[in-house]
Structure 1
Amino acid sequence: MTTSDSSPGADREAARDLALMLVLTFATGVVDAGGFLGLDTVFLGNMTGNVLILGMGAAGADGLPVFSVALALVAFILGAGLASLFLRSDRRGWSPRLTAVLAVSASLVAGTAVIIWAQSTEHVAAMFAVGMTACAMGMQAAAARSIGVADVTTVVVTSTITAWAIDMFARPGRATIVNRRSAAIVSILLGALVGALLVKVALWSVFAVAAVISAVVVVCGYVLASAGAGEQAGV
């Protein structure tokens, strides 16, 4: 008799988590387009860009939004840190605590949409929007790390592009070109495209759409995880 760690239930869970994380990656692209094009050229999810801007600002480069970028970086760190503490004793995978973290993250992005809708791009409102959304993205990143889908962090794709390129050149073929890595890259690219188009409509709509997408992920994740737990309990 042979045993395997892989089972239909485990495969469904892995596919579910991958799909939901790719949707969140798309939402990050939407949010980052809104932040960069509408909120003082700040990245709200991709902190690598913000660190570079801070470095150039420290060298005295003109016209860089140093305060906004620093605020986003601090808020992201705070969100990621608090979420990771909350999830520290949690089991790996989708759990009630992880649902709560992503629900708060979606709520913060929704709050950003409301603030921008009510106050447009008035400076203080814009800073609140930057802080709230960057904090939400930090929480999302911590949640994605807790779920543990390889190569899909939901907020950055530099390491994903590196791994994808290495495998593609080492073992050329469909499997190394079309996979979760390329899906993550395309997801954030399409998200940025949609976000940029929404900026032309109304800045608040960028964050409203991202919040709705995140909320759908929360609901789907909770429902599917609960259904999976029920199936396991019935076995």
Structure 2
Amino acid sequence: MLVVLRDAWATVVPDGKDRHGPLPPLMLALTVVTGLVDAFSYLGLGHVFVANMTGNVVFSGFAIAGAVGFSLAASLAALAAFAVGALLGGRVAHGARAHRGRVLHLALVVETVLVLAAYVIAEAAATPYAGTSQYALIALLGLAMGVQNAAARVLAVPDLTTTVLTLTITGIASDSRAAGGSGGKAGRRLLSAVAMFSGGLIGAVTVLHGGLALPLLFAAMLLAAATIAAFTLTRTDAAWTDPA
């Protein structure tokens, strides 16, 4: 347990000499954002995810089979928007790849603008969301999460992909001492799961008991704070900024 706590602490308050520098806590913040926006999309836009593309692929199969409550058009729209966002994020990230701090900052600027635009539409549109407003929100949020995922892929901070937990949870179990492994990185992996759970929980509570658009407001505020923090990272040439 002490090892897990030490690893978790090192993720939240990383050593300046760590290979990934101050990136881990910022990636955790983006993981919370994922939970928030997916809570909004699944509960507010129908059975569709804007960050979890595995879910949308499965949902597409459900919709084709005729399962009630699933929309093939919505799932495909989310997949398409995410792919375009990933393309945009890849262009941004590869353009600044010589400096990981700049990669993160540029991606966050784009993502923050997209999520903020989605919040404005969500506040202005009639609920329940349908038609143009529904697909505009799916498109904006899918684009935003595609950008985020592309940046996370380029930054390559281990166990902090921000949108996918399957391999993270697999690592917790398969690398544990009970499985004969070293038990390393369990704290970081658990924090990643807790971050997404927290975002999903807060998002669901606000959708169900507050206001439909509130998760997007919280996500935009968190992204704005992360953008400001990332801007300070663009001015350093510390070893962690080198993608090599």
Give the TM-score category using the shorter length. Answer: 0.7 to 0.9
Q: Does 1:133 align with 2:133?
A: no
Task: Give the length in aligned residue pairs.
Answer: 222
Equivalent in the alignment of 1:37: 43
- Normalised by the length of structure 2, the TM-score is 0.83
| Letter of the structure 2 residue corresponding to residue 214 of structure 1 | L
Higher helix share goes to which structure?
1
CA distance in structure 1 between the aligned counterparts of 2:210 and 2:181, rounded to whole angstroms: 41
Provide closer, same or farther for how the CA distance between residues 201 and 87 of structure 1 changes in structure 2, counting only shifts above 3 A. Answer: same
Change (3 A) 1:96 1:59: same
Whole-angstrom CA distance in 1 between matches of 2:181 and 2:93: 39
Q: Which amino acid aligns with 1:223?
A: T
CA distance in 1, matches of 2:160, 2:101: 18
- Tell me how far 1:172 sits from its aligned partner: 7.0
Q: Which runs of 5+ in 1 are unaligned?
A: 1-7
Q: Aligned-pair RMSD on alpha carbons?
A: 2.3
Asked if residue 210 in structure 1 is aligned to residue 210 in structure 2, the reply is no
- What residue in structure 2 maps to residue 91 of structure 1? 97
What is the one-letter code of the residue matched to 2:200? A
Offset at residue 92 of structure 1 (A): 5.7
1:79 is aligned, of 72, 85, 89, to 85
User: Which residue of the partner structure matches residue 51 of structure 1?
Assistant: 57
Instruction: Structure 2: state its 5+ residue gaps.
Output: 1-14
User: What CA distance in whole angstroms lies between the structure 2 residues aligned with 1:115 and 1:70?
Assistant: 21
Q: How does 1:115-194 map to 2 (within 5 A)?
A: 115-121=121-127, 122-123=129-130, 124-168=132-176, 169-171=178-180, 175-176=183-184, 178-194=186-202
- The two structures have a TM-score, normalised by structure 1, of 0.86
Match in the other structure for 2:117: 111
Matched letter for residue 216 of structure 1:
A
Note closer, same or farther for the CA distance 1:120–1:176 as it changes in structure 2 (3 Å cut).
farther
Query: Aligned equivalents of 1:90 and 1:162: distance in 2?
Result: 32
